[in-house]
Amino acid sequence: MPRRDRTPLHDIHGESNARFTVGAWDAANVAVLEASGSDVRSALEAGLRAVLQLATAGELEPPASDRSVPLRAEGDDLSELCFDLIEDFLDELGFSPFACHGVAVDGVLHRFGGGYVAWGYALESTAPAPKSILPEVLKMPTVESQADGIVFRVAMVRVDA
C-alpha cells in the first residue's frame, strides 16, 4: 500500500486562516485566483468562494435562503481534486435557475486505494440566477504546501459568447 501524503486535510483544532485573492481579467480574458488555508478543506472552500466572486463579477449578494445543493469531487491528487470541485461548482452555477450566495466544503478524505474525495454544498437564494458568462478552468490548478498551510492557484478564462 502506498504511503499517504501527510498534508492536513481538516484541522479541527486550529484556525483555518482561509483567504483568497482574485486577479483582474487580463487582455486574454484570464484571471488567476489564489486560495489558501491551514488545511486542504479550508483552502478548497476559499477557492470556491473566489470562483463565486469571479462568476458573479462582485455583484451584490442575493437574499439568502435555506436552499442548498450538494457538491462532490474526487481526484488522484490535490490538483485534480481542486479541478473537479471547481468544475462541479461551475456546473451547478450554470444549471441552477437560482442565484448562489455562498459555498462550503464540509470535508475531505483520503480514498481507499489512493487519492481524495471532497464534498460540500452551494447555498442558493430565492432570486433568479444572473445572466453572466461563467468562467472556465484554463489549466490544472497548482498546489503548494507551505509551513502555514496549503495554497491553490487556478487560472480561469472567460469565454465571451
Judge if pTM exceeds 0.75. Answer: yes
161 compared with 104, residue with greater pLDDT? 104
pLDDT digit string (tens) for 27-77?
A: 999 999 999 999 999 999 999 999 999 988 766 566 667 789 999 999 999
Tell whether 38 is covered by a domain: yes
Beta bridge partners of 100: 124
**For 94-142, what is each residue's pLDDT tens digit?**
898 888 888 999 999 999 889 999 999 999 888 888 777 789 999 999 9
Q: Distance (Å, rounded) from C-alpha 68 to C-alpha 16?
A: 23
Query: In terms of Cα–Cα distance, which of 2, 52, 64 is closest to 22?
Result: 52
CATH number (domain holding residue 63): 3.55.10.10
Q: Is residue 103 part of a domain?
A: yes
Helix (H) or strand (E) holding 151: strand 149-157
- Which band of pLDDT confidence, cut at 50, 70 and 90, is reported for residue 88? very high
Q: What total of structural domains would you count in the chain?
A: 1
Strand partners, 104: 121
Domain assignment of residue 8, yes or no: no
Residues of the domain holding 122: 19-157
